Amino acid sequence: MKISIWAVWLILLPLGLWFLYQTYPPKIDGNTSDILAFLLFMSVVASMPMMINGRPVFFLQWASLSVFLIFGLFIETVLVQLALIPILLQLRLSQETRFRLPLNSSMFFLVSISSGLIYYGLGGKHAADILWYPNSLFLVILYPLIYFLLNAILIFFISQVVYQRKEKFFTLDLGWEFVTTLITYPVGIALYIMYKQIGLIALVLIGIPFISLSVILRLYHSSRTVNDYLKEIAELGHQLTQNLQVKETIAFFTNSLYKLFKLDFVFIHEVDESNALTMIARVENKRVFPSFPGVLLINEGICGNVFSTKEPAIYHQKREWLPINKGYMPMETESVLAIPLLKNEQVIGILIVGSKKKRAFVHVPLMVLQLLCSQFAVAFENAKYFEKTKEFSERCALTKLYNYCFFEQLLTSKFQELKSSQINQLVLIMLDIDYFKSINDTYGHQAGNEVLVEFAKRIKYLVGNKGIVARYGGEEFSILLTNINIQEASELAEFIRRMIEIHSFTIKQSMKSQPAKIKITASIGLASAPHDADEPLALIKHADRALYTGAKQAGRNRVARYVK
């Protein structure tokens, strides 16, 4: 298809221009400078579309209308083709989309020829005196309407055939373009009338105010766009501060980036305590992937450079960032934008966004993106602090298991689930290390702490995802199991007791000169709900009683169930 488009264009353009030159030869009559002035004006108009209602509106057609009426079809066709060059250059087309050059050129060429031939066929002439001849005025008014209709039909055809889009002919965009046509084409007619009266000065009198208005509207649109971004970011910042989990905060931030900007890739690197950068988030085409391991150092790669300079870095195509890149970057990436995540003037991380298109971030409001990054940096640090504080309040600082306070709250909530039939049974296992005091007395309290840490790791590993393990206090531990019967729980408890008994514990920080290996045992008690207890404290009391009465007093190193 792309090759065919180029082939058609290479044949159509030369033959079409030759046909026009032979059929409707241009009558320049020494007006070369005027034609060049109109070419310059049309190029400026084409490269500076007005932003109306958030849409770029190109007003090349009304300028070409004046040229058509003054100089004829051949000059108008040639100048339109030349004026298209600034528009197409602004698109920064990649190799895959470069076929749009001949496609758009052919489209304008066919519309110019077709509408001009219809105008001539109806009896219209260029340089006609439309002020004194109503029939000429009617044809001049009819010409832009024909031009608009043919242009709309051809765009619809290309959309259906070339781009395979299933769109309706009558759309909101078509209606809006029709309205702008009705508004702007009278300006082209006025330019034609004034040019016949006062010459090239008409181009100055009409062209400069029009271009000035275009610039003002573009500036207004830019400021309005920034204001809209700021409003959106203010709302996103408020929502960011409500996320108190690190993963939720990162997910919300990356989703917001995809919502606000056209991106393909998002990577977030965090600065660790050694000032190295570690990837903590990797999102490609809105899909979350595991982050890659490894670290980047200061001045190493894109991230390292941004970290050291504390300034954003933007790369418009692959050949700019590829020589300095370290670490992972999808090879289909073209444009890359890296922003430092700053809090209190300190870099806490680096955001990297990528696009498969070249120059994708030329028009991204960098100030707005930096503001969003600053809000994320604060929210991210707050979430980390909250999680750390929560961990300290819920977990034992030594063993990293849940503590007594958290365990009691968990047990209460599980009883509520039990009463509402969300779960059908609870089993509480209480464990106590036998003769723990003698370990402290013989090897020292630091050695006792080592035993507690290793004991906690083993229990947590043996229980796995079957239940919740907590340090209840001192050398006593607890395991809460849900939806398991007492027999299965007893078998698990016996398995844990046996594993503790047969595997030695290594003490490295002993009062004695050499590390020591010791054997320890544990006594275990069980109670279940609702069979043995109907409230949390009763379940704890009964499991504790089974531990001390059924296991400890019976000789230790055994498992005992609560007996009423």
> What is the C-alpha to C-alpha distance for residues 111 and 64, in angstroms, rounded to an integer?
12
Tokens in use for 450? Answer: 């080592």
- Asked if CATH classification 1.10.1760 holds for the domain at 2-199, the reply, yes or no, is yes
- Count the residues in the chain: 564
Which numeric CATH code is attached to 404-561?
3.30.70.270
> What is the C-alpha to C-alpha distance for residues 182 and 141, in angstroms, rounded to an integer?
10
320 catalytically annotated? no
Residue 83 neighbours by CB under 8 Å, 6+ apart: 39, 42, 43, 45, 46, 60, 63, 64
Count of H-run helices and E-run strands, the chain: 17, 16
Q: How far is CA 70 from the centre of its chain?
A: 51
> What is the C-alpha to C-alpha distance for residues 59 and 47, in angstroms, rounded to an integer?
10
- Token look-up 């498969």 returns 356
CB-based contact 79:245 (threshold 8 Å): no
pTM more than 0.95:
no
> What is the C-alpha to C-alpha distance for residues 85 and 42, in angstroms, rounded to an integer?
11
Give the count of beta carbons closer than 10 Å to the beta carbon of residue 381: 17
Low-confidence ranges of the chain (pLDDT < 50): 54
Tokens in use for 220? Answer: 């207004």
- Token look-up 């689930």 returns 417
Question: Checking DSSP bridges between strand 559-561 and strand 522-529, what pairing results, if any?
Answer: parallel
- Residue 57: the pLDDT is 60
Peptide bond connecting 530 to the previous residue in cis, omega within 30 degrees of 0: yes
Per-residue pLDDT of 86-117, as tens digits, reads 777 766 666 777 788 888 889 889 999 999 99
In the chain, domain spans:
2-199, 231-386, 404-561
- Residue 61: the pLDDT is 78
Peptide bond connecting 293 to the previous residue in cis, omega within 30 degrees of 0: no
CB-based contact 63:18 (threshold 8 Å): no
Assign domain 231-386 to a CATH class: alpha beta
**Which amino acid is residue 534, in one-letter code?**
D
Of 197, 74, 204, 178, the closest CA to residue 129 belongs to 197
Of 283, 293, 239, the closest CA to residue 261 belongs to 283
- Token look-up 């008994």 returns 501
- Residue 62: the pLDDT is 77
Instruction: Find the catalytic residue in 300, 475, 476, 491.
Output: 475
> What is the C-alpha to C-alpha distance for residues 217 and 209, in angstroms, rounded to an integer?
12
Cα Rg of the chain (Å, integer): 39
- Residue 171: the pLDDT is 79
> What is the C-alpha to C-alpha distance for residues 194 and 130, in angstroms, rounded to an integer?
12
- Residue 453: the pLDDT is 93
